[in-house]
Structure 1
Amino acid sequence: MSDKGEDNLHHRNSLPIAGLFCQFSTPRINNPAGRNDKIRTAFNSRQEDVMPRLHISDFDAAQFRSLRVRSGMSITELATKAKLSRGAVSKWENGRSKPSPENFIKVMQALEVNPEIIVPDKGDVATLFDLRAQAGLTRTQVERALNISRSAWGDIERGTARLGDKRIPILAAVLNVPEERVRQAAKNTQKF
């Protein structure tokens, strides 16, 4: 294992994305013996096409552990309730990795805790991801409410596509925040 516990299949980088202080992972092939060079070459030639995976970088492992202990659940019980692996939950708790936004929502719902405890309200600098995390919604819930595809919402949330004025009232209702807050978060999220 590289990086003392980091998954050997991912290269970890840190990058502020659209106001989120996130980490992203890009898959790479671990092949120390040099076998399957054709596979490695084919994979590496497509690596630029792989979308980065967002992770919550301001995730507080100690606070997460405290929440789990206060809930009375073991790591295994929490992982089972959240439909996640025990290893993933353990890594988050020990600070060896951080959850993706979707897994963060799952675990907070399993703990029956408001996500704002770990992802505080960022006020005027909040992004669309921040608002979604604070509302405790998964990407799927937002996509369904807006009647858009997973990739379309992913592009909007990463700031590579615009939310559009027609979607603002719907998203505001889903997130239970004022339209102006969604408008400001959308502006904070945009990369262009």
Structure 2
Amino acid sequence: MKSVQDFSASGFRAAYEAKGWSQGDVAKAIGVTVGTVGRWVRGRGAPSPRLFAALAGVLDVPRSQLLLPLDPAADLAVLRTRAGLRQEDVAERLGVQASDISEMELGTGRPRDEWAVPLSSLYGVSLDRLVKAREATDRRWREEFEGKRRQAP
């Protein structure tokens, strides 16, 4: 499972300390080990989208407080994980298969036009930002494809 790539260890630490919580309190509240929380605090890992959403909820902070600023080159998968959503969550809300979302994020499947507004709302971004993320996803796919093509005998 993909973790939230731009998780802010310092923002996370500040959020739980402001509540007067320890790493153990956080771990207990979301059902993970203290070691897992410690890795997140040290920047050696990040929560899954599901755990990220749980963190924002139990700490009662906006997700943005637990994230680094959005990279201009962020792709569709980054927007989804920043929203605390799994591919299955997005698929359910759009009424499609999780494989449709996976293919969209890999750049091998095209998002449908009617998905734009719901995705923008789910991900908490403007339509313009969603289009830029789609372009980043497409660019990444083309670069990977060209790299494989150059390596072929």
**Count of aligned positions:** 138
> TM-score normalised to the size of structure 2?
0.69
**Greater length-normalized contact order (CA 8 Å, ≥ 6 residues apart):** 2
Match of 1:103 in 2: 51
The equivalent residue for 2:148 is: none
Q: Is the 1:119–1:130 Cα contact (8 Å) retained in structure 2?
A: no
The structure with more helix, counted as a fraction of residues: 2
SS at match of 2:78: helix
1:91 aligns with 2:58: no
Match of 1:138 in 2: 85
What is the aligned partner in structure 2 of residue 28 from structure 1?
A: none
Deviation at 1:109, TM superposition (A): 2.6
Moved over 4 A (4+): none
> For the Cα contact (< 8 Å) 1:75–1:90, is it kept in 2?
yes
Conserved? CA contact 1:105–1:133, under 8 Å = no
2:28 aligned residue (63, 80, 90): 80
In proportion to residue count, which structure has more strand?
1
> Are residues 1:119 and 2:119 paired?
no
Q: In structure 2, do the counterparts of structure 1 residues 62 and 170 end up closer, same or farther at CA, with 3 Å as the change threshold?
A: closer
1:180 equivalenced with 2:131 (yes/no): no
Deviation (angstroms), 1:116? 2.0
Q: Any conservation in 2 of the 1:145–1:171 contact (CA below 8 Å)?
A: no
- Consecutive unaligned residues in structure 1, runs of 5 or more: 1-52
Maintained 8 Å contact 1:56/1:100? yes
Distance 1:158 1:102 in 2: 20
Q: Could you tell me which residue of structure 2 aligns to residue 166 of structure 1? A: 114
Q: % of aligned pairs identical?
A: 28
Residues 65, 184 of structure 1: alpha-carbon distance in 2 compared, 3 angstrom cutoff: same
Change (3 A) 1:96 1:171: closer
Deviation string, structure 1 residues 125-151 (Cα, Å, up to 9, x no partner):
3322333344x3422432221112333
2:11 corresponding residue in structure 1 = 63
Distance 2:57 2:31 in 1: 11
**CA RMSD in angstroms, aligned pairs only:** 2.6
What SS does the corresponding residue of 1:103 show, helix, strand or coil? helix
TM-score by length of 1: 0.58
